[in-house]
């Protein structure tokens, strides 16, 4: 899933700030002192494209919508190694011996809820059935959705008859003309509470995708009633409901009044009051485009959870110990840190006649990028130089592997530039780098990249766009180069290797670089049909070596996550995967009130 700068514990938390010398918070006004004791206050920095699960493929939108919608499966909170459990499904899939037929029974009594009571007069919607999931998956495969990333990554070529459905929707003049009751061979409701999926070939990663937010159930009644407004009026079955959404101001959730109390029980289960989730009854997510206000509000106790700003890093973390400073500890701040399953990169549009047709140019630019300096300057050392697409924590990651094009080597890069000019037939024209943001940190990172490339004689011009507009331009193949990141959707290397598969290059597909290599595609198709094994690991390694040689990306770094939170927040555990994890948090509002009275 595309990475954005999201200030919360389950996604990327590295932020850049332009204010140094922040030690003590400003004085609090009377209004600020009286924070609602039952509300969790967090922040976000990227404008949200929409909250329709079928169209979500970025971390900001997913982190919001994950509180509202539920997938068939989810990850057990705080458990390592990661472990799936049946959430709306009643049990793990029953899989046929050939691996192609999956039968999934559902829990009973789980209902949709509309907090604004626009779709159903009392807010209580119908019980979730097998047909709701089939309808939701057919929506992912709707050509007119305008975002094919989820279809190409999750379903394309894998479910019997679903590619025909895609072609059918493409032939329709618009979504309104689609016959949603038209059958798909590989998606059947055996009864109201049993789904049968028939695959074109074995697809072991399907179980992970059935725990991936885009496959969550949406209500057909709600979609038909609200139309395009469903993108901003999400209605689901999860632990929270959205009660306010003021774009680029704030988002407010409240506990779903009909939530069943736990994700692993039927809707009619009797869960003791002391054990019922969510623990925190209200969440307010505040928008700050720039980093300074977010950090100041955290230091004032007005935000409960934060990352560590770059310029304030030494105030938060002791250089000697690598732990929190004594001042931060005295202020009741707690630190959680862990490697993240991420890769940050600069992507080349392989359709572009300059960068796409010139492998020596891409290799030269990769060798001219000083990863260690970038991590030191912009991430305060909170990163691992990336040698390829697979991050630490996966079986095929090799810390000792050597990728000559991921090594900072200016002399070798300059020699490659001679080859690049020969391929191009002359001097390389100015290049354009598209940046995902207009804030100070985006401009600083662009300046770093421009300076790096200038050392090998290249001129790079930056373009800055909002996150939503950036995604549109990348999806429409309008960017020559772009700076982006990817976080694993599930604990299998395929979540990264799919980003280079030629079948995922349609508009909005996850192969944003539009990279096509027949050798890669053949090995990929073989590997993804295999269950975990040493043989599959060997194929995964071959795939990584191919893209490392071809350089459709400049692999930059893998993130190390640092999370700060105040000690009035309880039960916070960093999770790389899963949805709705805020339901497990606790909040001691009285402790926060006492803290603020002392400021």
pLDDT of 226 over the 80 cut: yes
Phi/psi region, residue 267 (left: phi>0; alpha: psi -120 to 50; beta: rest), is alpha
Other Cβ atoms closer than 10 A to 40: 24
User: Chain-centre distance of CA 399, in angstroms?
Assistant: 24
DSSP letter string, 400-458: T---GGGS--HHHHHHHHHHHHHHHTSPPPPEEEEEE--SHHHHHHHHHHHHHHHTTT-
pLDDT of 294 over the 90 cut: no
Please identify which residue in the block is written with the tokens 């969510």. Answer: 278
Query: Which phi and psi (to 5°) does residue 14 adopt?
Result: -80, 125
Range in 194-203, 301-310, 584-593 with the lowest mean pLDDT: 301-310
Query: Which phi and psi (to 5°) does residue 555 adopt?
Result: -70, 125
* Cβ–Cβ under 8 Å, residues 147 and 55: yes
Q: Can you read off the two tokens belonging to residue 517?
A: 């290599």
Looking at residue 12, its pLDDT comes to: 34
Q: Please give the domain boundaries of the chain with CATH numbers for all domains.
A: 1-70+221-331+567-599 (3.40.190.10), 74-109+129-216 (3.90.76.10), 342-559 (3.10.105.10)
Q: What is the pLDDT of residues 228-280, one digit of tens each?
A: 999 999 999 999 999 999 988 999 999 999 999 999 999 999 999 999 999 99
pLDDT of 15 over the 70 cut: no
Q: What is the pLDDT of residues 402-438, one digit of tens each?
A: 999 999 999 999 999 999 999 999 999 999 999 998 8
Looking at residue 34, its pLDDT comes to: 64
Dihedral sign, CA of 383, 384, 387, 390? Answer: negative
- Report d(CA 504, CA 154) in Å as an integer: 10
Nearest CA-CA partner of 39 in 597, 590, 589: 589
Looking at residue 4, its pLDDT comes to: 57
Residue 127 CA neighbour count, 13 Å, CB half: 11
Looking at residue 21, its pLDDT comes to: 35
Looking at residue 439, its pLDDT comes to: 84
Give the helix, strand, coil percentages of the chain, each rounded to 5: 35, 20, 45
Q: What is the pLDDT of residues 505-555, one digit of tens each?
A: 987 789 999 999 999 999 999 999 999 999 999 999 999 999 999 999 999
Q: What is the pLDDT of residues 379-394, one digit of tens each?
A: 889 999 999 999 999 9
CA distances 258 to 84, 274, 278, 493, Å, are 24, 16, 11, 37
DSSP letter string, 181-219: TS-BTTEEEEETTEEEEEBSS--TTHHHHTTSGGGS---
Q: Can you read off the two tokens belonging to residue 483?
A: 């700076």
Give Cβ neighbours of residue 318 (< 8 Å, ≥ 6 apart). 324, 325, 326
Q: What is the pLDDT of residues 514-523, one digit of tens each?
A: 999 999 999 9
pLDDT of 200 over the 90 cut: yes
Instruction: For strands 460-465 and 431-436, give the pairing.
Output: parallel
Looking at residue 6, its pLDDT comes to: 35
The b-or-e profile of 228-257 (16+ CB within 10 A means b, else e) is eebbebbbbbbbbbbeebeeeeebbbbbbe
* Cβ–Cβ under 8 Å, residues 210 and 155: no
Looking at residue 3, its pLDDT comes to: 67
* Residue 194 bridge partners (DSSP): 105, 191
More reliable by pLDDT, 446 or 307: 446
Looking at residue 10, its pLDDT comes to: 35
* Cβ–Cβ under 8 Å, residues 73 and 93: no
- Report d(CA 539, CA 23) in Å as an integer: 51
Q: Can you read off the two tokens belonging to residue 205?
A: 């990663």
- Enter the pTM of the model: 0.86
Dihedral sign, CA of 323, 327, 329, 333? Answer: negative
- Report d(CA 430, CA 234) in Å as an integer: 43
Q: What is the pLDDT of residues 130-161, one digit of tens each?
A: 999 999 999 999 999 876 678 988 999 999 99
Burial of 415 per CB tally in 10 Å (0-12, 13-18, 19+): middle
Mean pLDDT of 28-52: 76
Mean pLDDT of 335-340: 92
* Cβ–Cβ under 8 Å, residues 323 and 335: yes
pLDDT of 40 over the 90 cut: yes
69: three-class secondary structure by DSSP: coil
* Cβ–Cβ under 8 Å, residues 524 and 497: yes
| Long-range Cβ pairs for the range 372-378 (8 Å, 24+) | 372/408, 373/408, 374/448, 374/556, 374/557, 375/557, 377/448, 378/16, 378/310, 378/444, 378/445, 378/448
Q: Where are the alpha helices (H) located in 122-267, listed in sequence order?
A: 130-140, 149-150, 162-171, 206-209, 220-226
The b-or-e profile of 324-352 (16+ CB within 10 A means b, else e) is bbeebeebebbbebebbbbbbbbbbbbeb
Burial of 144 per CB tally in 10 Å (0-12, 13-18, 19+): middle
- Report d(CA 172, CA 185) in Å as an integer: 19
* Cβ–Cβ under 8 Å, residues 291 and 18: yes
Q: What is the pLDDT of residues 82-139, one digit of tens each?
A: 999 999 999 999 999 999 999 999 999 999 999 999 999 999 999 999 999 999 999 9
Looking at residue 18, its pLDDT comes to: 29
* Cβ–Cβ under 8 Å, residues 468 and 499: no
- Report d(CA 548, CA 542) in Å as an integer: 10
- Report d(CA 378, CA 310) in Å as an integer: 7
Per the document, the length of the chain is 599
CA quadruple 462, 465, 468, 473: dihedral, nearest 10: -50
Looking at residue 456, its pLDDT comes to: 98
Mean pLDDT of 175-199: 98
The overall average pLDDT reported for the chain is 91
- Report d(CA 471, CA 460) in Å as an integer: 20
């Amino acid at each position: 899933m595309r990475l954005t700068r999201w200030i919360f514990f389950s996604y990327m938390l590295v932020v850049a700030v332009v204010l140094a010398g922040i030690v003590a918070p400003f004085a609090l006004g009377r209004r600020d002192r009286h924070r609602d004791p039952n509300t969790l206050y967090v922040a976000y920095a990227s404008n949200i494209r929409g909250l329709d699960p079928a169209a979500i493929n970025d971390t900001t939108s997913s982190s919001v919508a994950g509180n509202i919608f539920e997938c068939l499966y989810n990850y057990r909170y705080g458990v390592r190694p990661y472990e799936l459990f049946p959430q709306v499904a009643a049990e793990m899939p029953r899989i046929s011996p050939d691996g192609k037929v999956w039968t999934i029974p559902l829990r009973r009594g789980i209902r949709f809820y509309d907090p604004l009571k626009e779709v159903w007069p009392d807010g209580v919607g119908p019980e979730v059935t097998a047909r709701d999931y089939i309808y939701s998956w057919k929506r992912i495969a709707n050509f007119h959705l305008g975002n094919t990333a989820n279809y190409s990554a999750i379903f394309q070529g894998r479910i019997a008859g679903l590619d025909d459905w895609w072609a059918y929707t493409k032939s329709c003049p618009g979504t309104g003309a689609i016959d949603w009751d038209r059958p798909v061979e590989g998606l059947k409701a055996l009864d109201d509470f049993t789904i049968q999926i028939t695959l074109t070939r074995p697809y072991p990663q399907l179980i992970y995708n059935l725990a991936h937010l885009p496959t969550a159930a949406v209500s057909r009644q709600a979609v038909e009633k609200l139309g395009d407004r469903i993108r901003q009026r999400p209605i689901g079955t999860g632990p929270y409901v959205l009660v306010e959404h003021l774009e680029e101001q704030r988002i407010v959730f409240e506990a779903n009044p009909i939530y069943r109390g736990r994700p692993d029980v039927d809707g009619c289960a009797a869960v003791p009051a002391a054990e019922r989730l969510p623990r925190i009854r209200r969440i307010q997510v505040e928008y700050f485009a720039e980093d300074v206000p977010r950090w100041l509000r955290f230091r004032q106790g007005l935000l409960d959870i934060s990352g560590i700003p770059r310029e304030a890093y030494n105030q938060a973390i002791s250089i000697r110990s690598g732990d929190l400073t004594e001042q931060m500890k005295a202020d009741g701040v707690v630190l959680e840190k862990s490697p993240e399953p991420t890769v940050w990169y600069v992507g080349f549009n392989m359709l572009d006649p300059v960068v796409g047709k010139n492998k020596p140019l891409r290799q030269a630019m990769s060798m001219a990028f000083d990863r260690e300096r970038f991590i030191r300057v912009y991430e305060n050392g909170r990163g691992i130089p990336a040698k390829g697409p697979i991050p630490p924590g996966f079986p095929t990651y090799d810390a000792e592997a050597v990728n000559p094009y991921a090594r900072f080597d200016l002399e070798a890069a300059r020699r490659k530039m001679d080859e690049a000019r020969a391929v191009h037939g002359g001097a390389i024209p100015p290049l354009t780098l598209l940046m995902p943001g207009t804030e100070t940190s985006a401009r600083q990172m662009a300046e770093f990249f421009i300076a790096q490339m200038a050392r090998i004689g290249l001129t790079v011009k930056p373009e800055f766009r909002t996150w939503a507009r950036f995604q549109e331009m990348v999806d429409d193949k309008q960017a020559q180069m772009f700076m982006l990141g990817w976080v694993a959707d599930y604990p299998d290397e395929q979540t990264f290797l799919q980003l280079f598969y030629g079948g995922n290059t349609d508009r909005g597909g996850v192969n944003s670089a539009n990279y096509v290599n027949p050798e890669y595609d053949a090995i990929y198709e073989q590997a993804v049909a295999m269950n975990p094994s040493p043989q599959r690991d060997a194929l995964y390694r071959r795939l990584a070596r191919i893209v490392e040689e071809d350089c459709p990306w400049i692999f930059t770094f893998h993130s190390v996550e640092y999370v700060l939170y105040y000690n009035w927040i309880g039960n916070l555990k960093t999770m790389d995967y899963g949805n709705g994890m805020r339901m497990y948090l606790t909040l001691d509002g009285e402790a926060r009130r006492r803290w603020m009275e002392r400021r």
